[in-house]
Structure formats: structure tokens, C-alpha cells
Chains A and B, each alone.
Chain A
Amino acid sequence: ILNVEQSPQSLHVQEGDSTNFTCSFPSSNFYALHWYRWETAKSPEALFVMTLNGDEKKKGRISATLNTKEGYSYLYIKGSQPEDSATYLCALGSARQLTFGSGTQLTVLP
């Protein structure tokens, strides 16, 4: 059973602050790491798929980095806005399956 850990579990930041959170996973037999954004009462929405050590992806104010050798990925949000409030999930991709972490719940206070 793969163990995917996310920290912190929840986070409150002020509008305009930058923030980051972590996804940790077993570094052996790594294939791919996914990040999803999940707003309350909506569908989880794919943000990034990362495969290579040192990968860095960016979408607007959100970016992510990947370290497959030590088994972690960081998600960064620059200049947080209230609309960034959501749960951010990471998932480890293996053959035919995604294994999800429990998510980091971000609340951006106006």
C-alpha cells in the first residue's frame, strides 16, 4: 500500500500572502505525481502532472516542484486570493491507479 502524506492538513492565510504546502511519497518506483484543486461542492480539477526529478510546472500564480529522489513535491501559491480557497490534493500515479493524499485545505481570508 502506497503512503502519500500531505502537510499541513489545513492552512489559513491572508489575501496577498504567498504560501506553500508539501506532498510526500515513497521515492522508489516513482512514475508520476498529480496535483488537483478541489473547491467545495465542485469537481476536483487537475492542476499538474509531474514526472521528472527537478520538474517545475506553473499555471498562473500556482507552481509546483518535484523531487523524486527524496520523495516530495511542493505546491506554491503566490499572492493568494480568496478564490484560491480550496482543498489541494496530490496523488501518486502507478500502473492503472492514482493513490491520493488527504489534501491540504487552504482558506484565504480577505
Chain B
Amino acid sequence: ETGVTQTPRHLVMGMTNKKSLKCEQHLGHNAMYWYKQSAKKPLELMFVYNFKEQTENNSVPSRFSPECPNSSHLFLHLHTLQPEDSALYLCASSPLAGGPQETQYFGPGTRLLVL
């Protein structure tokens, strides 16, 4: 176990639904990340939060809305998604979002299917 949990593990939603993904880390870290992995593609960084403040948004469409109420919790709110948004969404945390040498600790991901 890496100390990072994600719920739900699987999610099926329609294009008009609103749903949220949840991530929680029990490591005392101050940085949290959302990644997306589409089929046959590398992990792509979506958002970075450092001390609850968003520090990176990798040109993610506004139908994905992150929220970081505290350093231990991270949400990804989903609204009017498209079928091409179907993917594995991974959360990660690290002590500080500052160094290229810093190890990130990943959750197991949420497998999302948009119909």
C-alpha cells in the first residue's frame, strides 16, 4: 500500500451526469496531483496542488474541475464528459511539488467509462 487511496475504483457515467472522484493521502504530504492515462498512452499530468493551491493546469478542459480542500484530500469533479474522456485517472502525492528528484506516491486509480 502506498498510503494513497482513491474512490471509486470504477465509474460508469453518461455524458450529462455529474460525478466526482476522490483521493486521500495518509502520508503527511503537501502536494497532490491528478494524472490521466488513456489507452496505449503515457500518464499525462492534469493538475498539481501545493499546500492546497493549484500550481499547474496542463490545459485541461473545464469539464474537469479539481478541488483541494486540504493537503490530504483531492477531488476531481466531472461534468458533461465525452466518451474520449474514458481513461484511468490516477492521483499522486509528494512531500512538496518542488523538486525533479521528488518521488510521487500513487493511488490505484479510478477506471472511468463515459457512455
Q: A residues near B, CB below 8 A?
A: 4, 31-32, 34, 36, 41-46, 49, 51, 89, 91, 93-103
Give the contacting residue for B108; candidates A43, A96, A102; CB below 8 A.
A43
Known: A43-B2, A45-B2, A102-B40. A94 touches B100 (CB 8 A): yes
Number of residue pairs spanning A and B whose beta carbons lie under 8 angstroms apart? 56
Give the contacting residue for B45; candidates A46, A89, A97, A103; CB below 8 A.
A97
Known: A96-B55, A97-B45, A97-B56. A49 touches B103 (CB 8 A): yes
Interface size on B, residues (CB 8 A): 25
- Check: B98 CB closer than 8 A to any chain A CB: yes
Known: A43-B2, A96-B48, A97-B48. A32 touches B100 (CB 8 A): yes
